[in-house]
Every structure is written in C-alpha cells, then in structure tokens.
Structure 1
Amino acid sequence: MDFKKKYGYSVYLSDKEKGSLLNRFGTEETKARIVRLNQMKENEKRALQMKSDYQAIGAMGERGSGPLKNPEDIKKMKKVLAESSERDYFIFLIGINTGMKTKELLNLKVKHIRDKRFIKLTPDGAEYPINKNLKSRIFEYTASMTDEEFLFSSRKTGQALQRDRVHKILKKAGEEAGVTITGTHTMRKTFGYHFFKQYEDAAFLQKLFHHSSQSVTLRYIGITDEKLKDAMDEFSL
C-alpha cells in the first residue's frame, strides 16, 4: 500500500509522489505548488477532473513569479522601490544579487552581513557570496544599525518583516513599474537567470539552490525553453 502523508490543510502525497515532484520542480517550486493547492482546496476551487493531489500539483501552470529577464525591468523596479523605501529597495537589491531564499533574507540580522564576504545564517546552511558593489551598499545601509538588529524589520513591530508583506511590496512595485512578473521568488530566479546568462555555470546554481539536478535548476530560472529556441535557430541539416 502506498501510504500518503498530509501536507498543510489537506494535501496528501506519498513519498514516491513527493520525490517525483521534487525531481521535476525542485524544492522551492514544489513547496509553492503544495501551498497553492492547499489554498485552492480550502477555497473549494480545486479542479474536479484531477484524480489526485499529485496530478493536480503536476498540472499547475507556471506562476507569475519568474525571473526578470529584461535588464530594463530590473532598473524600473529599482527606481520604484528606491523612491518608496530604502528598506524595500535594499531587500530587492540583496535578493537579486545573492539568490537567497526569501525566508533566509528576512531572517538576516546585521551581524550576518556586516564586514562579511559571504552570507551564511547557519553552519550547515547555504553560503551566498557578496559582490563588491553590494558590500559598499551594505556599509551604507547598516551604518547606524546594531549587530543584533534585523536587516529588514517592520516599522510597526520592529520584528523581522513577514513574507506576505514582501510579496505585497514587490507586487505593488511591479504594477507601478509596469513589470508583471513579480513575487517573492522573482528575486532568487532573477539572480539565477542573469548569473547563468553571464557565466553558464548551472553546477554552481544547482548547489546554491539545493536542486536535485541541473535540469531542475534551468527550469526553475526559466532558461530551458530559451536555450532550446536558441539551439533550433542554429540547427540545420
């Protein structure tokens, strides 16, 4: 018997099914899809024709949280965010320059990033390099902050900013900038996309993102179809 475990509100997957999803979409995207299906079921919007949660998750279309592929869109986002809030601008700046998970980004304290070459929250966690330009921006941003302060805190509570708040910030900025592809994954995917376009080092990104394969990484950053199209342009018999 293929025993199924419960994930969240009412999503049920066997270990084999979850393993298959992780291989197809990677950890981050699989988690996001499980959350989406939970929300759909809670709101009674799950497609009736789907025979199982595994089938429903696999059939989900891509969310609008892909990478910002056009450098002009990145500039527009930076401009809108900079005019709105130094904190919000800096969230975006670190996100697209390090590829950190949003959860990790929001758990950052000044001590994790001040005078560092790499960002590392835990001994076993991922190690995110800090580029030269970002170092100078970090110095300016943290100049008046103590080591124990959260890098990105709520103005109301003083505690770490929450993920849903960041999603709203990016979504609103995207609307103002005329950029439709925004969400909390956008920053991480944007970093991955442009890093790969510059260095074509999928192995580094796979390790950084903790993906099961390079193909999962390329799919995650939205590069697979693009590479196929480029290859077909040059293909001739």
Structure 2
Amino acid sequence: MREVQPIRDPQVIADIQNYLKVRNFRNYLLFTMGIHCGLRVSDLLNLKVGDVRDQLHISYVAQKTKNRRKRRKEKRFIIHPSYYDDLMIYIQDMDDDEYLFASRQKKSTGEKGLPISRQMAWRMISDVAQRFGLEDIGTHSLRKTWGYHMLMNAPPEQWGYVMALLMEAFGHESQEVTLRYLGLTQDMLDRMILRLSFTKTG
C-alpha cells in the first residue's frame, strides 16, 4: 500500500475548495479545516458546534492519545480567518451539542446526528482527488497538506523553528520522520538535483 501524499499545488487546493463550497458546504468546511489545522480526520469528526462557536481557538485532546496517560495533552489550534465567517454561517442554526460534521443519515442502530464516518470522509476526499487528477490521496493527506505548506511557505531561516513545531504537532521524534511523512525528502532531493550544473560558464 502506497503512502498517501500532501496536496502540493496551492491552485489545486483553491479549486477543490471552490468545488466543494458549491457542492457540499459541510464537506468544504471539513476539507478546509483539515488543511488549516493539522488535526487527524478522526479528531475533526469528534468536534462539536460548541467547540467552535464564537471561538478564536479550538481546544482538543487527540483521540489517538486519549487512553495514554503519559501523552494525554490538550492542544489548541486557531480557526483561520479565511474560513471563520463560513464556519459561523454553517453553525448558526445548530445546537452546541451537535457534531460539527454530522451525518444526515440514520445509523443502523437508529441513532441520528452522529458524525460522518471516517470511511465517508475518505470517500469524499477520494472522489475529489479523482476529479482533480490527484494520486495517493487519503484522509491523512489533509494534515500532510497543512504540514507541507507550513514548511514550504516559511522563510529558509525559520525552517528549523517550523520543523520543531511540526514534530511536536505530529508526535515525531526526528526531523527525518517528519520530512518523510510530508513527502518532502523526495521534493528536496529533486530540487537539489535540478540545481546541479557541471557546465562551466564564461
């Protein structure tokens, strides 16, 4: 099974957002929040309306670490201004105890109002990837896209600082792991090779 990749092209990201915004506002916000905060999809799906209403930051405990006492730690991420107003419009008629990304279908148990499943989120991302000609894209691609562009948009002199922040966010213990996770090892190698020149000038 191949490793999923970040979405590297900012124009493709903007095109996906515009496409989803018209087609499905909930999915647009799920995608947009995913590429702006670095959360796992499972953590995004567990957010409730009260977690975001009139907030500048969202506090959460990662689902993956909830049962690990040693690593259980509340984290915060900012609600990016680029989608803040859309998010507030989306939740204006919702109750605080509703899931932010609730399924519109009844579960087999008869329950309503539960968050969409991780499989449904994967299907949405997979459909979008196919439509826009992207390969090796999955639910993890959202947080990888966030990390990739966080680093690529940073000035070179700040890379060490940003890398330390990303390692903390992802729970990685080395830069090598983070670079490989973000698909940057190959990108950097490609760039360095393209800069090679053995032709003498002058």
Q: Distance in 1 between matches of 2:75 and 2:171?
A: 8
Following superposition, the deviation at residue 137 of structure 1 comes to 2.5
Matched pairs, number: 176
**Residue 91 of structure 2 corresponds to residue 128 of structure 1:** no
* RMSD (CA atoms): 2.0
2:94 pairs with 1:145: yes
Q: Is the Cα contact below 8 Å between 1:68 and 1:181 reproduced in 2? A: no
Aligned equivalents of 1:80 and 1:179: distance in 2?
15
Displacement of 1:160 in angstroms is: 1.1
Counterparts of 2:84 and 2:46, CA distance in 1: 19
Partner of 2:14: 75
Measured at CA, do residues 159 and 207 of structure 1 come closer, stay the same or move farther in structure 2, by a change above 3 Å?
A: same
- Alignment map for 1:1-237 (pairs within 5 Å): 62-63=2-3, 65-122=4-61, 124-156=73-105, 157-199=112-154, 200=159, 201-234=162-195
Deviation of 1:103 after TM superposition, in Å, equals: 0.7
Percent identity over the alignment?
A: 31
Question: Could you say if the C-alpha distance between residues 230 and 175 of structure 1 is closer, same or farther in structure 2, counting changes exceeding 3 Å?
Answer: closer
Aligned to 2:68: none
Cα distance in 1 between the residues matched to 2:132 and 2:196? 37
| Partner Cα separation in structure 2 for residue 178 and residue 80 of structure 1 | 14
Q: TM-score, normalised by structure 2?
A: 0.79
Offset from partner CA, 1:76-101 (integer Å, 9 cap, x none):
32233223211111100100111111
CA distance in 1, matches of 2:129, 2:19: 8
Q: Contact conserved, 1:97 with 1:134, CA < 8 A, in 2?
A: no
Give the superposition deviation at 1:234: 4.1
Letter in 2 for 1:105: L
For 1:179 and 1:82, the matched residues in 2 are separated by 19
AA partner of residue 204 (structure 1): L
Aligned partners of 1:73 and 1:179 also within 8 Å = no
| Separation in structure 2 between the aligned mates of residue 225 and residue 197 of structure 1, nearest angstrom | 14
Which TM-score applies when normalising by structure 1?
A: 0.68
The 3-state SS of whatever aligns with 2:101 is coil
Kept in 2, the 8 Å contact 1:99–1:188? The answer is: yes
Q: Structure 1: where are the runs of 5+ without partners?
A: 1-60
Specify whether residues 216 and 79 from structure 1 end up closer, same or farther in structure 2 by C-alpha distance, changes over 3 A only.
same
Q: Quote the Cα distance in structure 2 between the aligned partners of 1:98 and 1:226.
A: 22
- Give the residue type in structure 2 aligned to 1:75: A
Determine the structure 2 residue equivalent to 1:44: none
Q: Indicate conservation of the 8 Å contact 2:2/2:136, yes or no.
A: no
| Cα 1:175–1:234 shift into 2, 3 Å | closer
How far the C-alpha of 1:132 sits from its partner, in A, is: 2.0
User: Counterparts of 1:216 and 1:129 in 2: how far apart (Å)?
Assistant: 25
